[in-house]
């Protein structure tokens, strides 16, 4: 059976050098267009009740659904997705910022 080095040479890929460590990839979250996401989290009042809004996402809908589920479970509040924006019931700005930073997103302060 062919070795991986042989396969790499057939595909025209350079061989990995064992002496140099692998380059560390950028750990910032990126949108599906490759740009680094800069999110904003703010509070609005609707019908007299606070709503926390996280906006600036340019991600796949499945990623947004995963984040919404994480927020709902962690914060213990209801929420919804509206046009690449996550809206959560209640004033959870600081907690949402911490969760997003833990997930690798960059949040504007």
Cβ neighbours of residue 1 closer than 8 Å, sequence gap 6 or more: none
- List, for residues 34-64, the tens digit of each pLDDT value: 555 567 787 888 888 999 888 888 778 888 8
- Residue 4 within a domain: no
Which residue range forms the structural domain that includes residue 64?
Answer: 28-107
Beta strands 38-46 and 49-55: pairing type? antiparallel
| Mean pLDDT for all residues in the chain | 77
**In the chain, pLDDT over 90 holds for what percent of residues?**
18
Look at residue 26 in the predicted model and tell me its pLDDT.
Answer: 55
The CATH number of the domain where 88 resides is what?
3.30.780.10
- Residue 41 within a domain: yes
- List, for residues 58-90, the tens digit of each pLDDT value: 778 888 899 999 999 999 999 999 988 889 999
pLDDT of 24 above 50: no
Torsion of CA 29, 34, 36, 41, to 10 degrees: -70
């Amino acid at each position: 059976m062919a070795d991986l080095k042989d396969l790499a040479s057939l595909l025209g890929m350079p061989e990995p050098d064992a002496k140099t460590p692998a380059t560390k990839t950028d750990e910032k979250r990126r949108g599906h267009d490759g740009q680094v996401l800069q999110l904003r989290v703010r509070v609005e009042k609707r019908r007299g009740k606070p709503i926390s809004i996280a906006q600036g996402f340019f991600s796949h809908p499945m990623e947004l659904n995963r984040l919404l589920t994480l927020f709902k479970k962690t914060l213990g509040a209801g929420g919804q997705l509206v046009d690449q924006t996550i809206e959560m019931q209640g004033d959870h700005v600081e907690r949402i910022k911490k969760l997003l930073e833990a997930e690798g997103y960059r949040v504007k302060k």
